């Protein structure tokens, strides 16, 4: 089965193509092959592969390793390029008949807490806000979160590691939900304090970091152009 990603563009030389490999008689794929329409745009494949390796290295040997696909192979001979990954099971959060924000937040915050405990790098912002540098998924949206039972999986690794500002994923995920302003604010007030506490820092309010989140989002959008 072949699919083009939503951001593939309209011209023949744009975008990423996903090829799913099925075992005989199986209804779920076991491998995902990622390539591009033109070799000249193959940098996105190498970046995707390297970003996934970065995520894997941060959780090697831990229970959080199951949250991502496994990078299996990268091929590049100068004219053909593709990478092979395992396939994460589950249904997209955005396509589920019911939403379980609590499950996603609980699993995600636990992963970030694990990373925070193992980092020795910090960044200081205005007002003397000092935060650990923690790898973010970079594009954590309801479409890029799969849910299977009590497990979640993060997919699409084009921007993984590009941002190390704690809470960026959290804001991105919640803000992309179709919540009313009142409901969205209640989720911010519920989950941000919990998140900051889990990574061992004190932030007066998530609103203090909004300008920095907005800057990161702007940088990410520029990268998509």
d(CA 43, CA 223): 13
d(CA 206, CA 183): 16
CA triplet 22, 97, 180: central angle to 5 degrees?
130
The residue ranges of every structural domain in the chain are 2-86, 91-224
Q: Is the pLDDT of residue 13 over 80?
A: no
Q: What is the pLDDT of residue 6?
A: 43
pLDDT tens digits for range 67-113:
999 999 999 999 999 999 999 999 999 988 888 999 999 999 999 99
d(CA 53, CA 115): 15
Look at residue 79 and give its three-state secondary structure. Answer: coil
Q: Which residue has the tokens 């990954």?
A: 85
pLDDT tens digits for range 146-189:
999 999 999 999 999 999 999 999 999 999 998 899 999 999 99
Q: What is the pLDDT of residue 206?
A: 86
Q: What is the pLDDT of residue 220?
A: 73
Q: What is the pLDDT of residue 178?
A: 85
CA triplet 45, 46, 50: central angle to 5 degrees?
120
Q: Within a 13 Å sphere around the CA of 161, how many CA atoms are in the beta-carbon half? A: 14
Please give the distance of CA 158 from its chain centroid, rounded to a whole number.
8
Least confident of 32-41, 83-92, 152-161, 210-219: 210-219
CATH architecture entry for 2-86? 2-Layer Sandwich (3.30)
Share of the chain above pLDDT 90, in %: 73
**Residue of 70 and 16 predicted with greater confidence:** 70
Nearest to 132 by CA among 44, 202, 39: 202
d(CA 157, CA 134): 16
Q: What is the pLDDT of residue 1?
A: 46
pTM value is 0.89
| Mean pLDDT estimate for the chain | 90
Average pLDDT, stretch 17-27? 92
Please give the distance of CA 128 from its chain centroid, rounded to a whole number.
28
Residues 6+ apart with CB under 8 A from 27: none
**Residue of 12 and 120 predicted with greater confidence:** 120
d(CA 204, CA 122): 18
Helix boundaries (H) for 40-140: 43-58, 101-117
**Residue of 218 and 24 predicted with greater confidence:** 24
Q: What is the pLDDT of residue 128?
A: 78
User: By 3-state DSSP, what share of the chain in percent is helix, strand and coil, each rounded to 5?
Assistant: 40, 20, 40
């Amino acid at each position: 089965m072949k699919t083009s990603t939503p951001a593939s563009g309209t011209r023949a030389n744009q975008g990423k193509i996903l090829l799913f490999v099925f075992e005989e008689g199986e209804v779920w794929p076991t491998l995902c092959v990622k390539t591009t329409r033109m070799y000249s745009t193959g940098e996105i494949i190498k970046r995707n592969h390297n970003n996934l390796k970065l995520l894997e290295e941060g959780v090697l040997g831990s229970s959080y390793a199951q949250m991502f696909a496994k990078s299996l192979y990268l091929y590049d001979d100068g004219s053909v390029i593709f990478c092979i990954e395992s396939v994460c099971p589950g249904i997209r959060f955005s396509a589920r008949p019911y939403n379980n924000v609590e499950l996603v937040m609980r699993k995600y915050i636990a992963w970030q807490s694990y990373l925070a405990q193992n980092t020795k790098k910090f960044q200081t912002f205005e007002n003397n806000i000092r935060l650990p540098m923690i790898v973010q998924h970079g594009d954590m949206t309801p479409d890029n979160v799969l849910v299977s039972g009590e497990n979640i999986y993060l997919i699409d690794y084009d921007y993984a590691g590009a941002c190390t500002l704690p809470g960026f994923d959290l804001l991105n995920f919640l803000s992309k939900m179709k919540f009313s302003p009142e409901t969205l604010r209640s989720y911010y007030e519920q989950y941000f304090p919990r998140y900051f506490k889990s990574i061992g820092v004190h932030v007066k309010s998530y609103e203090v970091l909004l300008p920095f989140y907005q800057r990161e989002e702007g940088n990410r959008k520029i990268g998509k152009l």
